[in-house]
Amino acid sequence: MVRSRQSRLAFVFVLNAVLLAALAVVGAVAHSLAVLSAAGDYLTDALAIGLSLLSIRLAKRAPTAKRSYGYERTTILAALANASLVVAVMAAVVVASIERLVSGAPRVHGVAVVVISAIAAVGMLAGALVLRGDQDLNMRSVLLDTVADAATAACVTVTGIVILTTGGLFWLDPAVALAVAIVIGYRAVGLLREVADVLLESSPKGLDVHQVEAAMLEGGDVTEVHDLHIWSLSSEVLLLSAHVILAGHPTLEEAQAVTAAVKARLASRFGIEHATLDAECEVCATPNLHAVNGRPVPSGPSQPTSTTSAR
């Protein structure tokens, strides 16, 4: 999957670089803000894809004493940077579009706009098809950029055709640029929220914490779960830590067998391959107030039977 991602990103990177050069030249010659804004978007896309390729390479590095989880989260940082770049560029396009709408749009050469925008739309559509179907946030951020580019190019193509056939209506150029920038910026802000959830170690999207707890309690060997934390290191690496109260007073070997069975259920049903479970016979005297299902517990000494870790 990693190699596949690298090859797909490399393909879209080359595509962006070629179209960036063409759009910059045509936009300047044709006096089209829509085309120039698309060129600026392609520049940020090229930078974003380069950052994504670097993050995937870094994520493959082995853990170290300083970074025990390795560099898995670099893909999330890349997604943060990519989405932030999109928001910044779209904000600049909004400001420039409003200025042209207020002060008057210059004459736009429709033929050049139609030709280059149609080529860009087809190229970016091909790039989106190459990138589709991946739930990784980093890949989704690049896909968002690519789909936005295809949509922008299609809108600019239609605008160029209207300007060409009417011989006027030059105000449509900044108006379309403004509309597209608002739509793309809104999508980018939504992606930023998802990235923020990962960085804040929120419960992973689409994962029901209560279902996870119910699965851990199955079989009767675990009577209670507390200090439960579920978060994600990246879009594909889920982590869990919890204290589990075991029924009776099992031996160390029995306790290890119970926690191993719980971990197997977590992995098979929820994709949580990395779980750290603290097995106890009684509830902790001082519960973790930051836990998902933290609750007041009676005071008293904790009698841990065993501690098992997937790390």
| pLDDT at site 76 | 78
Residue 151: both structure tokens together: 């949509």
Distance CA 230, CA 269 (A): 14
Is pTM beyond 0.75? Reply is no
| pLDDT at site 304 | 42
The Cα-based distances of 261 to 24, 219, 237 in angstroms read: 59, 10, 20
The answer to whether 2-199 and 209-309 have equal CATH topology is no
Distance CA 139, CA 158 (A): 29
Q: Which helix (H) or strand (E) holds 29?
A: helix 2-30
Distance CA 209, CA 226 (A): 12
Pick the CATH number of 2-199 from 1.10.3720.10, 1.20.1510.10, 3.90.550.10, 3.90.870.10: 1.20.1510.10
| pLDDT at site 296 | 41
Residue 76 burial (CB count, 10 A): 24
The distance of Cα 220 from the centroid of its chain, to the nearest Å, equals 38
Q: Which helix (H) or strand (E) holds 103?
A: helix 74-103
Amino acid at 195: V
| pLDDT at site 299 | 36
CATH fold group of domain 209-309 = Alpha-Beta Plaits (3.30.70)
Residues 121 and 35 sit within 8 Å (Cβ to Cβ):
no
Domain ranges in the chain? 2-199, 209-309
* pLDDT < 70: residue spans in the chain: 1-3, 32-34, 37, 59, 68, 105-110, 235, 283-311
| pLDDT at site 295 | 47
| pLDDT at site 305 | 41
Residue 242 burial (CB count, 10 A): 24
| pLDDT at site 301 | 39
Q: Which helix (H) or strand (E) holds 308?
A: strand 304-309
| pLDDT at site 302 | 40
